[in-house]
Chains A and B, each alone.
Chain A
């Protein structure tokens, strides 16, 4: 059932022209940025050659590229999550799911995984672009993998937060702005506090992404993302149940 709901989400997304437009624009931005960082590496190469333990092409290209994608996703994810529940409510199609023989967790997870699969497809071009460098050089696959896992976890936390905020309202625009506000707020809390030990860092998903970004797999960061996502998903389920109770 979860798979059925997820597939329905994806099919609906691909049935809309706006999705294809977004895919095209994003692909353009991703590749532009990739070529830019690659150019930086090529410019730096003569100086790097003189260093004893110089950073490789993977870290010079991958780290800024994934960092940029993480920031971009922060602004993109709300545009996709706003549709999940708020728009279904507005179109009155949510009743179909409520009156179908489904548990609340199936509805929530179906929507969550549907969007996760779509976003995985959307960002899959990035590792592919980096992989093309393997034609000419040796790549640091560990760093690449660390970044991919980090990005996946980060996206999961964004999507679950967006899903929760989408379940609070029947207005997709409010859901989008609300999610964006919370995500940007968390990000600002992170970058605005200059003290390294400030607790503000700990609540920001982007802060926890930094370790992954530099190729460090830290279980406490992974735990943060999982807890963040699970709490948001549980809140969403609670909200949908309350919807039945309070109308």
Chain B
């Protein structure tokens, strides 16, 4: 049979958007495949939400093309949007309805066939942990539960592309873990885009990372690769009876020694030759009394800061640049 679902689920090409004279988004291009979770990172005001609004048809880009499952969003909006689930920053809830009523309404709105609604409802409530509040009025629920209802409305019709704008805001740590597991699970069959400030979220959930700044995509790679980016080779060594720092700097392979305290040194070396073993033998010989040796880990956070600040340095913010 002909393959009905194309591999590329969402493609956005050269999106540009300005509000008045302010250029908010410039030349953003994205591509998503089935079974991929993409994390959209960026500082406040970087244009993450605007990008998402454009991808969901809530905002028309000034130029550029968006295709969802190969369907052009601006030419066939109704058809394209039926493959889409969107959770905006503030969950779009009708606070006076109860959870069941609301989710049924959303399911029908998104084109779930009436006989399938009951199943979709039970399944979604189960995966979002909403069984216990089925008949409660949404307005009376806590923020965390409202957020879960928001996630539930985005996935109830099993869309190919799921777009989540800061999905874990307002949840407690336990819930965050559950929702992350859910996103991970969704990511196996669908394409998920999520925007977030939390780097740990990207680390644990996303396959790919796009960093946005001042309306541009400045970095794009797999999240595993991102951690490699800007990796420093080195370690922190704690010696109870330390030699002068110059003695350490003389060891072959060590490029930089920085005393952190009386006994602690931060040692950098070239990534190719690791002087750890040499150091250990020398420590043994000269009775430096090695206490601790910790390899330096570049956290995603460091990398993120490094990428964005590098971009900042050679690029002045274009928000406010006249067009």
B-contacting residues of A (Cβ < 8 Å)?
Answer: 1, 4-5, 8, 11-12, 15-16, 91-103, 244-245, 247
> Are the C-beta atoms of B97 and A102 separated by less than 8 Å?
no
In the docked arrangement, what's the CA distance between A1 and B82, Å?
13
The A-B contact count (CB < 8 A) is 73
> Are the C-beta atoms of A8 and B94 separated by less than 8 Å?
yes
In the docked arrangement, what's the CA distance between A94 and B90, Å?
11
Chain B stretch 120-140: residues in CB contact (< 8 A) with chain A = 137
Please indicate the chain A residues that have their CB under 8 angstroms from the CB of B86 in the complex.
Answer: 95, 99
Q: Quick one: which of B59, B82, B108, B153 contacts A96, CB cutoff 8 A?
A: B153
In the docked arrangement, what's the CA distance between A94 and B19, Å?
20
- What is the distance, in angstroms, from B104's C-beta to the closest C-beta of chain A? 10
- What is the distance, in angstroms, from B314's C-beta to the closest C-beta of chain A? 30
On whether A244 and B58 interact (CB within 8 A), knowing A1-B109, A101-B110, the answer reads: yes
Closest 3 CB pairs of A and B: A96-B92, A101-B82, A15-B96
Please indicate the chain A residues that have their CB under 8 angstroms from the CB of B96 in the complex.
Answer: 12, 15-16
Residue B251 at the A interface, CB < 8 A?
A: no
> Are the C-beta atoms of B93 and A93 separated by less than 8 Å?
yes
> Are the C-beta atoms of B58 and A95 separated by less than 8 Å?
yes
Please indicate the chain A residues that have their CB under 8 angstroms from the CB of B89 in the complex.
Answer: 92
On whether A4 and B105 interact (CB within 8 A), knowing A92-B92, A98-B57, the answer reads: yes
Please indicate the chain B residues that have their CB under 8 angstroms from the CB of A5 in the complex.
Answer: 109
17 pairs of residues in contact across A and B, judged by CB atoms under 8 Å: A4-B109, A8-B94, A11-B101, A91-B93, A92-B92, A93-B92, A93-B93, A93-B94, A95-B58, A96-B92, A99-B56, A100-B110, A101-B77, A101-B81, A101-B111, A244-B57, A244-B58
In the docked arrangement, what's the CA distance between A97 and B84, Å?
12
Residue B182 at the A interface, CB < 8 A?
A: no
Q: Quick one: which of A96, A97, A245 contacts B60, CB cutoff 8 A?
A: A245
Chain B stretch 89-121: residues in CB contact (< 8 A) with chain A = 89-90, 92-97, 101, 105-106, 108-111
Query: A4 — nearest CB in chain B belongs to which residue?
Result: B108
In the docked arrangement, what's the CA distance between A1 and B92, Å?
19
On whether A102 and B94 interact (CB within 8 A), knowing A4-B109, A96-B153, A244-B59, the answer reads: no
Please indicate the chain B residues that have their CB under 8 angstroms from the CB of A103 in the complex.
Answer: 77-78
- What is the distance, in angstroms, from B124's C-beta to the closest C-beta of chain A? 15
Query: B17 — nearest CB in chain A belongs to which residue?
Result: A247
Residue B79 at the A interface, CB < 8 A?
A: yes
By CB atoms of chain A within 10 A, which of B88, B89, B153 has the most?
Answer: B88
- What is the distance, in angstroms, from A230's C-beta to the closest C-beta of chain B? 23
> Are the C-beta atoms of A247 and B19 separated by less than 8 Å?
yes
> Are the C-beta atoms of A12 and B97 separated by less than 8 Å?
yes
Please indicate the chain B residues that have their CB under 8 angstroms from the CB of A92 in the complex.
Answer: 88-90, 92
